[in-house]
A and B are shown apart, each in its own frame.
Chain A
Amino acid sequence: MTLKLGRHAFPDDATLMMAIVNRTPDSFYDKGATWVEEKAFERVARVVEQGAEIVDIGGIKAAPGVEISVAEEIERVGSFVGRVRSDFPGVVISVDTWRAEVARAVCAEGADLINDAWGGADPELVHAAAEAGAAIVCTHTGGAQVRTRPHRREYDDVMVAAIADTTAYAERALAAGVARDSIVIDPAHDFGKNTFQSLETTRRLEEMVATGWPVLVSLSNKDFVGEALDRPVGDRLVGTLAATAVSALKGARIYRVHEVVETRQVVDMVNTIAGRRLPARAIRGLA
């Protein structure tokens, strides 16, 4: 399915890099490295140059922590979105938020995509996206409360649950008026899931791809990678790329990442092996 993300459209064989840009002082991976606006802006410039098609700007870290008001979240991301919009018109701007009020504010500044990591916790969010003509990411959290860690959560079948919840969310977005080609689903590794559940989600990702909705995966440096390999944050790139390769083989379309260049190479290599992408330039044995 052709993918329309706000002002931008992509053919159905395109894979997309969504680069994480934190406007937070406390995110797990970068620990506030782009909290200062200029640093965040430099990060945008860098990932755009590296070829990221999407930047995902977030004002609140996912893990539990100090509560951030709607006003504070808008303060962190609103005008920043406007600045990115005007300086980088070619990049898709995604905002990582679960709040409809924030979505409305950032769409007014030029956001193309609302990345709701919290599974539709705010029922108004789909309407905010629809009104703005924005795209939306529908994630699975197993009903987890916003900004909580999983605790002894089990599923009869985690992939069946992820598909049921994300496709129901997608249908809800569609009913609210979001365009069919502007809806993406995401199994949301680590969200409402222990490591075994995230690994199973990776192993069975093709079932989610088979729904026909474009699938986004957010694997980058997450705990399921760290726990699988016993590696701390900062030492999870190899594991992340292995999970990325599996996801690419199974047909994921969008990759939410810290490392754009490495992920792009892995996704391109896997899709070339899979016969979905031509080699860049092949002459060996063919001259």
Chain B
Amino acid sequence: MKVVLLPPVPALLPEYASLADPVASLRTAIIEAVSDLRVTEIWASDGLARRVGAWAAKYGAQSGPDAILLLANGSARRSEKAPGHLDDRAQACDAAVERDLRAGDADALAATDQSLATDLLADLTQLQRLAGMGRAAEADLRYAADPYGVQYWVAILDW
């Protein structure tokens, strides 16, 4: 089974399109990540995140390995210009999640401190659904950046 982790960024949606795409590289990374996978499920924490998942699913393939889209992002408090302003705990929290993503450690991801995540305006609730899945055979972190003070990742975990 594959899980594609991507951030629920509203700027990806066509209803929020601009003349110049503010999230062009993120968009490219997501489209490339899903392009040869068949999306069977979308794990999202709210309706807006689900819409972003549905948008990404349109770029999936008709056939191919099945994949779950898991909508999640790190802290939105990574800088003074960030949506949630600066929180000094943001960097460490995001770094821990990113380390577990690189390692494909599903149980560690599932055990992320949700209370801290809430404080940091991170959307990590769906990681809890990875509990009990152990370590992924492959973990491919395709994109990691915080262009607007929000930590984004695009990663493919494969069991």
Contacts and interface: CB of A to CB of B under 8 A. Distances in A.
Are the chains A and B members of one assembly? yes
Interface residues of B, number: 16
B18 A287 contact: no
Interface string B112-129: 000000000000000000
A280 interface: yes
B10 interface: yes
Contacts of A277: 19
A282 interface: yes
Looking at chain A's contact residues, the main secondary structure is loop
Looking at chain B's contact residues, the main secondary structure is loop
Q: Which of A277, A282, A283 has the most CB of B within 10 A?
A: A283
Contact of A286 (B9, B147, B149): B9
B10 A281 contact: no
A286 B19 contact: no
Nearest to A279: B18
B134 interface: no
B19 A283 contact: no
Interface in B132-159: 147-150
B64 interface: no
Contacts of A279: 18-19
Nearest to B73: A287
How big is chain A's contact interface, by range?
A: 10 to 19
Q: Which of A280, A282, A285, A286 has the most CB of B within 10 A?
A: A286
B82 to A, nearest CB: 8
Contacts of B150: 287
Contact of B76 (A278, A280, A281, A287): A287
Nearest to A287: B148
A75 to B, nearest CB: 43
B20 interface: yes
B65 interface: no
Nearest to B12: A286
A282 B83 CA distance: 14
A174 B135 CA distance: 74
Task: Sort A-B residue pairs by CB-CB distance and give the 6 closest, nearest first.
Answer: A287-B148, A286-B11, A283-B22, A286-B10, A281-B20, A281-B18
